[in-house]
Amino acid sequence: CFDIFTPEEQKILKKYREENFAPKKLVYSERRAIGKCPLTPEEVGLILRALGFDNSTRIYLAAGELFGGDRFMNPFRSLFPRLENHSSVDHSEELAENTRGLAGSAVDYMVCLLSDIFMPTYDGPSNFANNLLGHRLYYGFRTTIRPDRKALAPIFIDRENGRMAGFDEAVRKVMLKTNFGEPHKRVSPESFYTNSWPECFCQTSPKNPADKCPPNDVLNVLHNELEKAATDTNSTNA
């Protein structure tokens, strides 16, 4: 997916690909048409705008240095100027010294975990995104936006070719068919770590009693059960 990069950037990517991957012929237009290319920052911004987010929305970017730099980020910033990352939210020397290490990653994780909305822009083999998607379920199934890149690809291609009429509506139609973090049964190839529902969740009105949620005063219940067991044991011994 490197046709969007400059010739110099393509040389760097080509070298990296040759050193780390087996030779493979990849055609950008074909890959993109089937949703195999990550979304660009501008595409992410256009999706959010189509969903009703305006330029007052505060956005936290959990990412390292973006390959391609400002050339890719400037269109996004023009749509959403209130952009933060772990360096801008905490100016402490300790974090500044560790932004490339665990401290910066930990801040990224916690902000994404507790944010109102989380939007992973690529659903490849990323432990960071997968773990967050699964972890957020335990915080009340927090809202997650997961773009369907394959369904969105022809819409973005049309826009680039000058066919912009109805763009926002087309994006909304695609996005309304996606899951926004609500409970749903896992379907292959979705990872267990991404969605552990219903196996790892108790139920208030289960068909199987073993799936019933513990009472709110579970510690008191356990204490009473232990006291009852001790009393029964003493009575038997007597």
Residue 192 clears pLDDT 60, i.e. is over it? yes
Residue 140 clears pLDDT 80, i.e. is over it? yes
Who has greater pLDDT, 232 or 96? 232
Provide the pLDDT confidence category of residue 153 given band limits of 50, 70 and 90: very high
CB atoms near residue 44 (< 10 Å):
21
CA 85/CA 197 separation, integer angstroms: 31
Range with lowest mean pLDDT among 36-40, 155-159, 231-235: 231-235
Residue 80 near residue 45, CB atoms below 8 Å: yes
Q: What integer is the mean pLDDT of 210-238?
A: 72
The secondary structure of 162-200 as a DSSP string is: T--TTHHHHHHHHHTTS--S------TTS-TTT--TTTT
Q: State if pTM tops 0.75.
A: yes
The amino acid present at 84, given as its one-letter code, is E
Integer CA distances (angstroms), 209 to 1, 55, 183, 225, in order = 51, 49, 20, 18
Res 225: pLDDT: 76
Residue 98 clears pLDDT 60, i.e. is over it? no
Residue 72 near residue 61, CB atoms below 8 Å: no
**Which 3 state secondary structure label does DSSP give 113?**
helix
Residue 95 clears pLDDT 60, i.e. is over it? no
The mean pLDDT value of the chain amounts to 83
DSSP bridge partners of 118: 144
Contacts of 107 (CB under 8 A, 6+ apart): 86, 89, 90, 95
Residue 15 clears pLDDT 70, i.e. is over it? yes
Residue 128 clears pLDDT 80, i.e. is over it? yes
CA 95/CA 104 separation, integer angstroms: 7
Who has greater pLDDT, 154 or 90? 154
Residue 7 clears pLDDT 80, i.e. is over it? yes
Q: Residue 77 burial (CB < 10 Å; 0-12/13-18/19+)?
A: middle
Range with lowest mean pLDDT among 35-44, 74-83, 110-119, 217-226: 217-226
**DSSP symbol at 213:** P
Q: What integer is the mean pLDDT of 21-50?
A: 88
Which residue ranges make up each domain of the chain? 37-211, 212-238
Res 221: pLDDT: 66
Integer CA distances (angstroms), 68 to 41, 109, 120, 178, in order = 11, 24, 19, 29
Res 69: pLDDT: 79
Range with lowest mean pLDDT among 59-73, 91-105, 125-139, 204-218: 91-105
CA 179/CA 184 separation, integer angstroms: 8
CA 176/CA 164 separation, integer angstroms: 20
- pLDDT tens digits, one per residue of 215-225: 766 567 677 77
